A = this chain, B = another copy of it.
Amino acid sequence: MQSSLSVSDSDGSSFAPLVVLELAEDTEAETITWLLNRIKDKQQNGGAELLVEQLEVIGQNEQKRSPKIFLVGSTWKRLLIGAEDVGLFKEFHDGTMRGFTYANRESFKEFQGDGDDFLSIAECQYIIKHELDTLRAKGESHVPGYAKVKLYPGKSVIRRLQSKAILLQYFPLHDKEELKRLSVSWYRKIKLSFQPLDDIRHYFGEGLALYFGFLEYFTFALVPMALIGIPYYLFAWEDYDKYVLFAVFNLVWSTVFLEVWKRCSAQLAYGWGTLSRKKAFEEPRPGFHGALGFNPVTGREEPVYPNTKRQLKIYLVSVPFVILCLYLSLYVMMIYFDMEYWALSIYNEDPNLWTSVLLFIPSIIYAVVIEIMNLLYRYAAEFLTGWENHRLESSFQNHLVLKVLVFNFINCFASLFYIAFVMQDMVLLRQSLATLLITSQILNQIMEAFLPYWLQRRRNKKVHKRVRRLLGDRELPLVEQVQLEGDMYTYLGTFDDYLEQFLLFGYVSLFSCVYPLSALLVVLNNVTEVYSDAFKMCKVFKRPFSEPASDIGVWQLAFETMSAIAVVTNCALIALSPQVKAYFPEGETQLILTVVAVEHVILAFKFILAFIIPDVPKHIQIKLAKLEFESLEALKKKSRALGRKCWRPQRFQRLISDAE
């Protein structure tokens, strides 16, 4: 770890600031003293044993908005001990990935000398976040200075301060040097090469690196499809007769694509040490509230919220609300069809250039409306899921993802399903698909990166001016950096990025056989997406805390579901093609039965394939089995060495019962 900046401790020794805590302006002095003491206190006494210092901004009183800013750092040894606490996996000297322990630090491959470069800054920041998050109340019944902000033994202090808006935010600092290097290799030069995934992981953590890995993999996987699509477009094979071949390709592709990704992601996650890392015990999420009761698992006193009440909220409010939204979305769709019909009738009356442009207007308007509805619904879903009061962040996320996915799916694809299977109008389907795809891509790029960047620049200029005015000519880069970064937007996680890819995957896999150019459009979109996403991570948003991840989680399931649905739509599209119909002159019944049979076989084949292909590549399986075997052998040896005496070996199991 090398940081370009440092602040001085109260003892005079200096440390590298890693994380910024921003407390509300009107925080009581008593509270601050207490919090700083808890953070600095030794671990034996229940403290976090970190270094913390207030950032002195000269002339603070002149401004209206002047939150109290604290910088947190740590000694080197504390970080290494923390790395063991969070269960970090690192490369061992024999090339396998093992859980890091302070005692065995010398046996790890990259540990040299004092081990200064052993942990990346992102890892250090993650460790500090973990230690702050697990700083728990001891005897305090409330936060000193705020009698109303209750605490109970074991409650995370930071989470309580956050939920009561005493702690406004806390975020890791950017490292300008490293960020510059990363951005140069990532997006600053236009080149035909892979993304520097290891560097991204090094700077932003595994969660984000996996997203960018998936984005890249998805884009490359689309290239063959895009290439096949081009001749369809060029040679006007678009009499809807040739698309059977394309649909078949589609089916195979969408299955293989996801299975291979699982293996790629396992490979990446193994190399990054997150594959076999165990999940930490999950804390209640900050917003969770309830009457004090006993947690049946930990036996600790903590807020408890009756599950029946939550279920009632879900089934009596959330589900009806989602259904209402779906109805609304379908209603808007019908309005779109009316508009479409109206535009067509005008065109038919007087076909000229203007009226032919008019033909595209309803689709464009509808695409914009879809995006707006998605956005509004997103807020509503987040509010509703928060109101359902889930105890764990993972449960909150699952309910949110489910709500958002169902709505987005219907909202984006219902019109296409309607055109394809009810109206059976392939010309309109193609036109509608193209317009939806292109419009939503353009909107997304604007909304996601350029708009925030533009707003950011305007703000930055103001901050620059303000800071310059305050400091005069003195160089105080740290103050400026902290102020600038504190004002940046907060990155809310990979949810929206994955959602966008999910919808693009839907456009490509569900209906692309009638518009073979869509794969090419998605490839083009994703190439710019890589750059704009990279740009927004480096320039627009605050640095996010790194998030250990071993796979893309619920999104794997979402993509697999989409690919199963794609089998159904592609089979149905094949059945609708005149070419296939010509093969069954005796009547529709025979055709439908054949297509249904084929569809069942393909679906069964998909499941078998998913079952047969191992999720983890063989060579990594062997490495994992090796570790497991060694741990078993070690236990046996220990047991044999000590076993014959009355005293039996100190096993993992014993530790458990010792704790009581």
C-alpha gap A643/B650 in the complex (Å): 18
A557, closest chain B residue (CB): B611
Find chain B residues with CB under 8 A from A600 CB: 568
- Whether A376 sits at the interface, judged by CB under 8 Å, is no
Which residues A32-85 have CB closer than 8 A to chain B? 42-44, 81, 84-85
Does chain B have a CB within 8 A of A374?
Answer: no
Bound together, the chains give a CA A647 to CA B589 distance in angstroms of: 78
> Would you list which residues of chain A between 510 and 567 have a CB under 8 Å from chain B?
none
Chain B residues near A622: list those with CB within 8 A: 296-297
Which of B42, B98, B281, B651 contacts A628 (CB under 8 A)?
B281
A659 adjacent to chain B (CB < 8 Å): yes
Chain A window 646-660, contacts with chain B (Cβ cutoff 8 Å), 1 for yes, 0 for no: 011111111111111
Say if the beta carbon of A101 comes within 8 Å of chain B.
yes
Q: How far is the CA of A644 from the CA of B107 in the complex (A)?
A: 20
A592: which B residues are within 8 A, CB to CB?
589, 592-593, 596
Q: In the docked arrangement, what's the CA distance between A81 and B298, Å?
A: 31
* Complex alpha-carbon distance, A629 and B283, angstroms: 12
Cβ–Cβ contact B98 & A632, under 8 A: no
- How many angstroms between the C-alpha atoms of A589 and B575 in the bound complex? 13
Q: Is A102 an interface residue (CB 8 A)?
A: yes
Question: A11 at the A/B interface (Cβ < 8 Å)?
Answer: no
Nearest CB of B to A657, in Å: 5
- Whether the Cβ atoms of A648 and B42 lie closer than 8 Å is no
A103 adjacent to chain B (CB < 8 Å): yes
The segment from A189-197, A201-209, A247-255, A633-641 that touches chain B is A633-641
- Report if A655-B640 is in contact (Cβ < 8 Å); known contacts: A589-B592, A626-B297, A648-B81: no
- Decide if A639 touches B85 in the complex (CB within 8 Å): yes
User: Which parts of A585-632 form the interface with B (CB within 8 Å)?
Assistant: 588-589, 592-593, 596, 600, 622, 625-632
Within the oligomer, what is the number of copies of this chain? 2
Chain B nearest CB, measured from A149 CB (Å): 26
| Contact among B85, B296, B638, B651 with A101 in the assembled complex (CB-CB below 8 Å) | B651
Q: Which residue of B lies closest to A300 (CB)?
A: B629
Asked whether A103 lies within 8 Å of B647 as measured between CB atoms, the reply is: yes
- Answer whether residue A506 sits at the interface, using C-beta atoms and an 8 A cutoff: no
Contact A643 B588 (CB under 8 A): no
* A43 and B643 in contact, given A98-B653, A103-B648 (Cβ under 8 angstroms): yes
Residues of B within 8 A of A651 (CB): 84, 99, 101, 103
- If A281-B629, A632-B281, A656-B627 touch, whether A84 touches B644 (CB-CB below 8 Å) is no
Q: Measured between alpha carbons, how far is A131 from B631 in the docked complex, in Å?
A: 19
- Chain B residues near A648 (CB-CB < 8 A): 81, 84, 101-103
- A104 lies within 8 A of chain B by Cβ: yes
Q: How large is the interface on A (under 10, 10 to 19, 20 to 34, 35 or more residues)?
A: 35 or more
User: Given the complex, which residues of B lie within 8 Å of A629, measured CB to CB?
Assistant: 281, 297-298
**B640–A44 CB distance below 8 A:** yes
Give CA–CA (A99, B654) in the complex, Å.
9
A657 to B280 CA separation, bound complex (whole angstroms): 22
Is chain A's binding surface mostly helix, strand, loop or mixed? helix
Instruction: Please report which residues of chain A, range 77-123, place their CB below 8 angstroms from some CB of chain B when the two chains form the complex.
Output: 81, 84-85, 92, 98-99, 101-104, 107
A299 to B629 CA separation, bound complex (whole angstroms)? 10
Q: Are B644 and A44 touching (Cβ within 8 A)? A: yes
State whether A634 touches B658 (Cβ < 8 A).
yes
A281 to B281, CA, bound (A): 27
Whether A657 and B44, one on each chain, are in contact in the complex, defined by CB atoms closer than 8 angstroms, is no
Contacts of A631 in B (CB 8 A): 652, 655-656, 659
Q: How far is the CB of A212 from chain B (nearest CB, A)?
A: 29
| Nearest-Cβ distance from residue A612 to partner chain B, whole angstroms | 11
- For the complex formed, measure the closest distance between the CB of A501 and the CB atoms of chain B, giving whole angstroms: 22
A589 to B590, CA, bound (A): 9
**Which B residues are in CB contact (< 8 Å) with A43?**
640, 643-644
A101 with B42: CB separation less than 8 A: no
Give the shortest distance, in Å, between A282 (CB) and chain B (any CB). 10
Known A101-B651, A596-B596: A659·B633 in contact at CB below 8 Å? yes
| CB-based nearest B residue for A296 | B622
Name the B residues within 8 Å of A634 (CB-CB).
655-656, 658-659
Instruction: Note all chain B residues with C-beta closer than 8 A to A636.
Output: 85
Cα–Cα distance between A649 and B81 once the two chains are bound (Å): 10
Chain B residue, CB-CB nearest to A81: B643
Query: In whole angstroms, what is the CA distance A408 to B274 when docked?
Result: 43
CB distance from A632 to the nearest CB of B (A): 6
Which residue in chain B gives the minimum CB-CB distance to A657? B104
A659 vs B638: C-alpha distance when bound (angstroms): 8
Interchain CB contact under 8 A, A42 and B644? yes
Which of A588, A622, A637 has the most chain B CB within a 10 Å cutoff? A588
- Bound: A635/B656 CA distance, A: 8
Q: 18 A–B contact pairs at CB < 8 A? A: A43-B643, A81-B643, A81-B648, A98-B657, A101-B651, A101-B654, A103-B647, A103-B649, A104-B654, A104-B657, A297-B622, A297-B629, A589-B592, A630-B656, A631-B656, A631-B659, A634-B655, A634-B658
Q: Which 3 A-B pairs have the closest CB atoms?
A: A634-B659, A103-B648, A102-B648
Known: A280-B632, A296-B622, A592-B593. 16 other contacts (CB 8 A): A43-B640, A81-B648, A84-B648, A84-B651, A92-B657, A99-B651, A101-B654, A101-B657, A103-B649, A281-B628, A297-B629, A588-B589, A592-B592, A596-B596, A633-B659, A638-B655
